[in-house]
Amino acid sequence: MAEGKNNGLYFIVGAVVVVVALLFFFMAGGDGDVATDAEAPVAEGAAPVEGMPADTAPAQPESATQDN
């Protein structure tokens, strides 16, 4: 039963290894040279999408506009 005395030590060492691995993963994840201003490519033959004009309000159902 001498093997059971080190279980706590193995658990602590395992937790430390996991923490160190996570720190390394986050610290070495990238060098920060990520292009965030690039536009997504448009599929060939895709129709352009146009938004509603700014002066047009969305339609509301009549039940939302009636006073009770």
Per-residue pLDDT of the chain (68 residues; tens, 9 = 90+): 456 678 889 999 999 999 999 999 888 876 666 666 767 776 777 566 676 555 566 667 666 655 55
Q: Which residue has the tokens 């093997």?
A: 3
pTM for this model (two decimals): 0.40
What local confidence, expressed as pLDDT, does residue 32 receive?
63
Instruction: Please state, in angstroms and as integers, the Cα–Cα distance from residue 25 to each residue in 14, 21, 62, following that order.
Output: 16, 6, 56
First to last CA, the chain: 79
What local confidence, expressed as pLDDT, does residue 48 receive?
61
What local confidence, expressed as pLDDT, does residue 13 receive?
95
